[in-house]
Structure 1
Amino acid sequence: MAANPSLVDGRTVHFLLRANPDGIDLATRQNAAGVDLNRNMKYGWAPSSPGSFTYGGPSPYSEPESIALDNLIQTLKPSRILSVHAYADLIDYDTDGGLVLAQLMAKKNGMTVAPISYPTPGSLGHYCRFHSISLVTLELPSGIAPTTMWNWQKSALLTFIHATL
């Protein structure tokens, strides 16, 4: 985007490339301590069993990555957040604004829009609902080359940036 600033048309866009660097390096959703960082936020947090796939940690914000994410969001005060995950092959949303954004994105990339159908205590979704931040989670399918993925998703991502709520 730095090479072509007209893509964002005067908007301020921030990218956090690795909210869970341990998970990326270890190819898992947990950090090195075995905590699912998307279950470690304060809002909606609930105790769970250590070792479980979605273990939220011994307490909310027990992990430095969760604290750092909270600090970043509190500093930037975004009106919307796009979280990119892998493997579910759908667009998930939290909040009414998130639904509108998800539907606009789906018109560009043809993906299914659907809410998560299971409890997600301590998730970014709970956090965003509490702070009235529109959240969209783009769950990408696996096995697609990065250039192909970018060509497929580019217009949906720009729609997320440019959409007016």
Structure 2
Amino acid sequence: MEFIKLESGKTVNNLEIEAFKNKVDSSRFIYIMAGVHGDEIEGVHCLKEIFSWLKNEVEIDLPLVVIPIVNIDGVNAGTRVNANGVDLNRNLPTQSWEGDFEEAKYNPGVAPLSEPENQYLDKLFKEYPPAFILSIHSWKPIVNYNGDCKDVAQLLARHNKYPIADDIGYPTPGSLGTYGSVDLAAPVLTFECPTIDTGITVEEVWQENEAGFKEMITSGILKRFL
């Protein structure tokens, strides 16, 4: 499948944020992204494998936008937060956004969309409106769904046996899950991989999720969102 590179964004440290779109025309798009939190390398690796497969091995009639790494500064530093110390998954302009925080890793920034990474993400959403968003993270294995996409979560869980939930278990004001599903009317799957500190390798994380991701993309289950 052929992808075209979209206009890039910039991080706090002026590094390039790449995004790619395939040549399937649509008024709404399926988004796949990773690296919102820079220390979650497992998700970054999974999307690297997905994107390689999409580019080299398959032709899919789905309008796709792929953002391989959102928080490049965080990936380079090995930190959850960006170079301003902001959690990008608490910085989106939801009605529930809060400026108060107790732990530095949840710093939401001085205002919604204060961070260049999220400004770029929101710009993409306006130019290429999302119909469904898959954001790949790592924490403890769980498939968290916001909006009407429980069936997609169940499909993935059949392969990896991860639990599914419509609530991650703690408040996430300013998160993509809320912003996408409520403000943009685009269901969001926040896919949490296991982390390498549990003794698993990034390649093993990919191997236990490869079949599920590929079925999700090829089965036609995502077409109902368009």
TM-score of the two chains, using structure 2 as the length reference: 0.66
Q: Select 2:211's aligned residue among 149, 155, 160.
A: 155
Q: Select 1:142's aligned residue among 195, 212, 216.
A: 195
Cα contact 2:194–2:205 (8 A) shared by 1 = no
Aligned partner of 1:23 in structure 2 is 74
- The superposition leaves residues 101-134 of structure 1 with CA deviations (integer Å, 9 ceiling, x where unpaired) of 1111111221111221111111101211221101
Identity %: 33
The structure richer in strand per residue is 2
1:88 and 2:140 matched: yes
Give the match's secondary structure for 1:15: strand
Cα distance, 1:15 vs. partner? 1.6
CA distance in 2, matches of 1:68, 1:91: 26
Cα contact 1:92–1:136 (8 A) shared by 2 = yes
Q: Select 1:68's aligned residue among 120, 123, 136.
A: 120
Give the AA of the match of 1:61.
L
Aligned partner of 2:183 in structure 1 is 130
Aligned partner of 1:100 in structure 2 is 151
Gaps of 5+ in 1: none
Cα distance, 1:51–1:145 mapped onto 2, change above 3 Å: closer
The alignment covers a number of residue pairs equal to 162
Give the AA of the match of 1:138.
F
Cα distance, 1:10 vs. partner? 2.0
Stretch of structure 1 that moved more, 12-21 or 146-155: 146-155
RMSD: 1.7
TM-score of the two chains, using structure 1 as the length reference: 0.89
